[in-house]
Amino acid sequence: MDHPSVAAARRTARGAALLPAVLALVAGCTAGLGGSVGTPGAAGVRDPYFPRLGNGGYDVTHYDLALDVDATAERLSATAVITARATQDLSAFHLDLTGLEVRSVNVEGRPAAVNRAGSELTLRPDRAVADRLRTGRTFRTVVRYTGAPRTVTDADGSREGWLRTADGAVALGEPAGSMAWFPGNHHPGDKAAYDVRVTVPEGRSAVSNGELVSRRTSGGRTAFHWRVREPMASYLATVAVGRYAVRRTVTEDGLPVITAVDPAVAAASAGVPDRIAEIVAWGEKRFGPYPFSSAGAVVGRRGDAGYALETQNRPFFPGPPDTGLLVHELAHQWFGDSVTPASWRDMWLNEGFATYAEWLWSEDHDGVPVEESFGKAYADDANWAFPASRPPGAADLSRPPVYGRGAMVVHRIRQEMDDDEAFFGLVRGWLSAHRHGNASTADFTAYADRVSGADLAEVWEHWLDGGSRPAGG
Ligand code: TRP
Ligand code: ZN
C-alpha cells in the first residue's frame, strides 16, 4: 500500500484551505495503521567535497561482512549485515554502493524495496517494518550481493576500491573506495565495529583489520574471520587476498603485531615487525597510548597500489616500506584512525600530524632537528599552493599543503607555546579527548586556544587559513 508522504500531500494541496484537511486525512489513516510518520533519510551528509557520501537518518554500529572470493579475486559473492540506530523516524534510507549486483535486501527480517541510482541504494522497508524505525531504535539490514568489485579512479587520478594484484586483490578506501566492496554509510563521520569473514581458495590468505578470530579450511576453501572491536571509519577498512606470509608477534607490552608480507618482498621486509614494535613504543611516548588492540602491516608488491594507506591496525604498503613511511602510516593510527576527521575538509589533521610525526622521528633517531624539516617545508613552494584547511577541490586532498603546511601549523603551535612538555601534553590531551571519535578543524583550533596558554590567532590566520606564505618561517 502506498501512502502519500507529507511532501506529496503538500504538492497536492493547492490551497491553504485544503492543507489541514489533507494532513488530517494522512494523520488519520496512518494512526489507523499504527502510525509511522517517518521520512526518508538523506542521500548524503553534505561533505564539502563529496556531498552524496554517507547517508542521513541512521548511525551504523556494526558491519558483519561475509565475502566469498573466487580464485582470481575478480568476483565475489557476499552478504553484509548492517546494524544501525535510527537518528530520525525513517520511512526509507540510503546505503552507498558502487557497482556489484544487489541480489536481495531485507530490513528487520522482511524484504525491502530497493532502488539504485549512481552510488545510492535506496531501501524502502514495508509498512510494518517502517513503523518500527523510530528515532533511537536499532535495526538490522541484510544485503546480499555479487559481482566483480570495481577499481575506482579518484579526482586526483589515483586508484582505490578493489585493486587486483598478481595473486589476489587488495581493497583500499580513501576517500570513497570502500563502497566498491560493501554497502554502507561511507562517510568518515559514521564509525562502527566490524566482523569481516573472507573465504578464499586454500593456499591463499585473507587479511583484514583487527584480530583474527578463526581460520577454518574445508573442501579446498579457507574462511578467515577478522574482528575490529574499536570504532573504524569505512575508508580504513581493508581486505587483502593473496599468498601472504602472515606472522603474529607480540611487543614487549603485549600488543599483537600481525604482518602479512608478499613472498616476493619477504627479504626486504624481514625487519618490519620489529620496526613496528619500536615505532609504536616511540609513538606512545610522544602521543599517548596506542589506540587499538593490535598493530601490524600488509606489505604487497610495488605496483599493487600507487600509495601506502593507514588502514586501521594494519597499514597497507605497496612494497617494503622505509622507516619514514612506516612512521607516517603508524602515526595515522593516532591521527586519523582513532581521531578521525569530521569531514574531508579536515584532512590536514591527519596528514599534518602524520608528517609532523616523521619530523619528530627524524629528530629523535637521525639527528635532523625539527627546525630543519620545518625550514625545508617552508622553502618549498608546493606547500603554499592553498590553505591547509581549505583544499580547493577533491583532487587536492592529498597535495603538499595538506601534508607539509599542516605539519608547519603543528610546529608553529609548538613555537608559540615555547614549552615542549606543555605542547606534547596538548597533543596527548587532544587525542584523548576525541579517542575513537571524530573531530573537525574548528574542534582543534578551539581546543588549542583553550589549552595552549598562547595566543594562536596568527597561527590560524596566516599559517592554517592564509592565502600565501607568511613572512618569517
Ligand atoms: N592517506 C595516505 C597517506 O598519507 C595517502 C592517501 C591515499 C590519500 N589516498 C588518499 C590522501 C586520498 C588523501 C586522499 O599515507
Ligand atoms: Zn598520510
Residue 97 lies in a domain: no
* Whether residues 350 and 460 fall in one domain: yes
* Whether residues 282 and 310 fall in one domain: yes
What confidence tens digit (pLDDT) does each residue in 171-200 have?
Answer: 999 999 999 999 999 999 999 999 999 999
In short, whether 398's Cβ falls inside 6 Å of ligand 1 is yes
Selection from 72, 321, 316, 56 nearest residue 186 by Cα = 56
Query: Beta strand pairing status for 205-208 and 76-86?
Result: unpaired
Domain boundary among 279, 295, 322: 322
* Whether residues 358 and 267 fall in one domain: no
* Whether residues 316 and 353 fall in one domain: no
* Whether residues 350 and 281 fall in one domain: no
SS3 labels along 260-289: EECHHHCHHHCCHHHHHHHHHHHHHHHHCC
Residue 195 lies in a domain: no
Residue 278 lies in a domain: yes
Helix (H) or strand (E) holding 210: none
> Which DSSP string do the residues of 421-467 spell out, in sequence order?
HHHHHHHHHHHHHTTTEEE-HHHHHHHHHHHS-S--HHIIIIIIS-S
Residue 362 lies in a domain: yes
Residue 41 lies in a domain: no
Distance from the CA of 203 to the center of ligand 1, in angstroms? 31
C-alpha cell, 338: 582513532
Residue 279 lies in a domain: yes
* Whether residues 350 and 393 fall in one domain: yes
Give this prediction's pTM: 0.92
* Whether residues 344 and 442 fall in one domain: yes
pLDDT at residue number 473: 57
Q: How far is CA 308 from CA 129, 281, 303, 328, 424, in A?
A: 43, 21, 11, 10, 27
Domain boundary among 275, 294, 322: 322
- Judged on CB neighbours under 10 Å (0-12, 13-18, 19+), 44 is middle
Identify whether the C-beta of residue 199 lies closer than 8 Å to the C-beta of residue 69.
Answer: yes
Q: Which of 160, 351, 358 to mutate to test the pocket of ligand 1 (most atoms within 8 A of CB)?
A: 351
Total count of domains within the chain: 3
* Whether residues 349 and 428 fall in one domain: yes
Q: Which of 398, 399, 402 to mutate to test the pocket of ligand 1 (most atoms within 8 A of CB)?
A: 398
List the chain pLDDT tens, one digit each, 473 residues. 333 333 333 223 333 344 444 444 444 344 445 556 899 999 999 999 999 999 999 999 999 999 999 999 999 999 999 999 999 999 999 999 999 999 999 999 999 999 999 999 999 999 999 999 999 999 999 999 999 999 999 999 999 999 999 999 999 999 999 999 999 999 999 999 999 999 999 999 999 999 999 999 999 999 999 999 999 999 999 999 999 999 999 999 999 999 999 999 999 999 999 999 999 999 999 999 999 999 999 999 999 999 999 999 999 999 999 999 999 999 999 999 999 999 999 999 999 999 999 999 999 999 999 999 999 999 999 999 999 999 999 999 999 999 999 999 999 999 999 999 999 999 999 999 999 999 999 999 999 999 999 999 999 999 999 999 998 75
Helix (H) or strand (E) holding 169: strand 168-172
Domain of residue 309 covers: 244-322
DSSP assigned state of 256: E
Residue 9 lies in a domain: yes
In short, whether 394's Cβ falls inside 6 Å of ligand 1 is no
- Judged on CB neighbours under 10 Å (0-12, 13-18, 19+), 253 is exposed
What confidence tens digit (pLDDT) does each residue in 314-339 have?
Answer: 999 999 999 999 999 999 999 999 99
Verify cis geometry, omega within 30 degrees of 0, for the bond prior to 341.
no
Distance from the CA of 145 to the center of ligand 2, in angstroms? 32
Max CA separation in the chain (angstroms): 80
In short, whether 310's Cβ falls inside 6 Å of ligand 1 is yes
Q: Pick the ligand that lies closest to the CA of residue 174.
A: 1
* Whether residues 344 and 429 fall in one domain: yes
Q: Residue 289's domain is classified under what CATH number?
A: 3.30.2010.30
Residue 231 lies in a domain: no
* Whether residues 351 and 457 fall in one domain: yes
d(CA 4, CA 403): 50
Q: Residue 459's domain is classified under what CATH number?
A: 1.10.390.10
* Whether residues 253 and 354 fall in one domain: no
Residue with CA closest to ligand 1 atom 9: 174
Distance from the CA of 425 to the center of ligand 2, in angstroms? 23
* Whether residues 266 and 345 fall in one domain: no
